[in-house]
Amino acid sequence: MAYFYDQAAHTFNEYLLVPGYSSSECVPSAVDLTVPLVKYSKSDGPTMTMKIPLVSAIMQSVSNDTMAIALAREGGISFIYSSQSVDNQVAMINRVKDHKAGFVPSDSNLSPDDTLETVMELKEKSGHSTMPVTHDGSSHGKLLGIVTSRDYRPSRTPMDAKVSEFMTPREKLVIASAETTLSEANDIIWDHKLNALPIVDKNDCLLHLVFRKDYDSHKLNPMENLDAHKRYVVGAGINTHDYEDRVGPLLAAGADALCIDSSEGYSEWQLRTLQYVKKEFGEGVKVGAGNVVDREGFRFLVDAGADFVKVGIGGGSICITREQKGIGRGQATSIIEVADERNKYFKETGIYIPICSDGGIVFDYHMTLALAMGADFMMLGRYFARFDESPTAKVTVNGNYMKEYWGEGSARARNWQRYHSGGSDSKLSFEEGVDSYVPYAGPLKDNVALSLSKIRSTMCNCGALSVPELQEKAKLTLISSTSIVEGGAHDVILKDQLGSLPPNFR
């Protein structure tokens, strides 16, 4: 006979936080949202952290290089989706790493025989106004000069004028050698009042550019999540089918962490994947695994070598696994049980395994609930799919701006590797995700800032200034269906609904 749990599984919507004592020091600006990404020992402390507890989902419609850059700028991490060719995924990782390396490869270059017309076309195409001039027009050719918007006036300079006639020549440029550090390059930029500093090798061939705006950008984004080389931190998804071909190139491209993207993590396939990565590339390579919904699944993945564990099955807004297969569990109950087992494991071994809540987040306050219940961070799909930086198209539906959003288990994604447990068939037998739209919400930066302000404010209501303190002090209560109604606007007529009232309304 099947095993029956004696308690119902609950969702975030069925819980509320009960306020605790708040001291005068408990203000939102004092809240620290730093969380660990991967496992660490009690004696050593966290080795890889995030400044905010947000990770974007491993999905075609969410996590590409554009999303990864935007989220890392705010302090989080994206895991570039794996349901694409290895070369394409590696290219995305490279673009993230190159974007904020400090030393940026030039992708807008000219030859001395190009014309002003070419300059204007390249500027329109790339948006860049600083263009190195090399002997062959390549990004690593011998540096002959540079063109900026100060070198020409479209209203006066003929469109057929050659670049060599109006460029700033090499002998008038301030340049730096390949041995120059980023700190030294920034000092040169400030001392000489430059906007860009070319970096050349011993043969005077262009290697990189260092921009003043990158320094300014860092000052405007103090929460940036950077690696040891001042590059944005980025993760990469892998699956349990072609990991032997995928992991090496991803690590070579600079991926800081990996995560197995699978609908169900309590399996031999994940065990094999984890064992392969650790054996071939060492314990220094960090790999998250999942998804699981109970303590047994958590222990299995931890024993297999997982560096963090994703929790949640069937709770995503585009996931229909529960409808199709009857598999899953309420997200809140899953987090509570797995977090309890994580804490027991920590007491037993002195090793802390972060857990990631994946799915079930509908409202911003659900994020705070997930953290209070024991999650270290959240993986979000629908939330990030709404923003400018997601890779999908912005469309108009019934007069409203929307963004396309589809699940990895949908026919559109064709990501059979995520849902297929073995055998030779490389196809989806049935869909476990839908193709949909989400309301367009604008830039990531503004929306994330608003969500985090709500989290910080709620944490202060609980008397907590950090995520560990929230988990220690939080008091949670189950609420009835009537309490849910009571919690929203009720028994009033909202002003924005007046026009929709029937004529005979009293």
Q: How far apart are CA 309 and CA 297, in angstroms?
A: 9
319 annotated active-site: yes
Q: Compute the average pLDDT of residues 149-155.
A: 91
Question: pLDDT per residue over 256-288, tens digit each?
Answer: 999 999 878 999 999 999 999 999 999 999 999
DSSP secondary structure letters along 195-264? SEEEEE-TT-BEEEEEEHHHHHHHHH-TT--B-TTSPBP-EEEE-SSSHHHHHHHHHHHT-SEEEE--S-
pLDDT bin (cut points 50, 70, 90) of residue 416 is: very low
Short-list 388, 428, 391, CA closest to 412:
428
Question: pLDDT per residue over 277-335, tens digit each?
Answer: 999 999 999 999 989 999 999 999 999 999 999 999 877 666 666 666 678 899 999 99
The pLDDT assigned to 481 comes to 81
Helix (H, G, I), strand (E, B) or coil at 484: helix
Q: How many angstroms separate the first and last alpha carbons of the chain?
A: 57
Q: How far apart are CA 109 and CA 130, in angstroms?
A: 9
Question: Is pLDDT of 93 > 70?
Answer: yes
The pLDDT assigned to 462 comes to 96
Whole-model pTM over 0.85: no
The pLDDT assigned to 504 comes to 58
Question: Is pLDDT of 3 > 90?
Answer: no
The pLDDT assigned to 502 comes to 62
The pLDDT assigned to 42 comes to 94
| Residue 189 CA to its chain's centroid (Å) | 31
Tokens of 230: 């001042």
Q: Compute the average pLDDT of residues 73-92.
A: 95
Short-list 190, 191, 188, CA closest to 199:
188
* Choice among 319, 356, 460, 462 that is catalytic: 319
For the chain, give the mean pLDDT: 89
Per the document, the length of the chain is 506
Question: pLDDT per residue over 371-381, tens digit each?
Answer: 999 999 999 99
Question: Is pLDDT of 228 > 80?
Answer: yes
137: region left, alpha or beta (phi > 0 left; psi from -120 to 50 alpha): left
418 annotated active-site: yes
Q: How far apart are CA 266 and CA 128, in angstroms?
A: 49
Question: Per 3-state DSSP, what percentage of the chain is helix, strand, and coil (rounded to 5)?
Answer: 35, 20, 45
The pLDDT assigned to 268 comes to 95
Short-list 259, 341, 350, CA closest to 300:
341
Question: Is pLDDT of 459 > 50?
Answer: yes
- Provide CB contacts within 8 A for 159, sequence distance 6+: 115, 116, 117, 120
Kindly report the number of other CB atoms within 10 A of residue 130's CB atom: 17
Q: How far apart are CA 34 and CA 369, in angstroms?
A: 17
Question: Is pLDDT of 434 > 90?
Answer: no
* Choice among 418, 456, 460, 462 that is catalytic: 418
Please give the single-letter amino acid code of residue 487.
G
477: region left, alpha or beta (phi > 0 left; psi from -120 to 50 alpha): beta
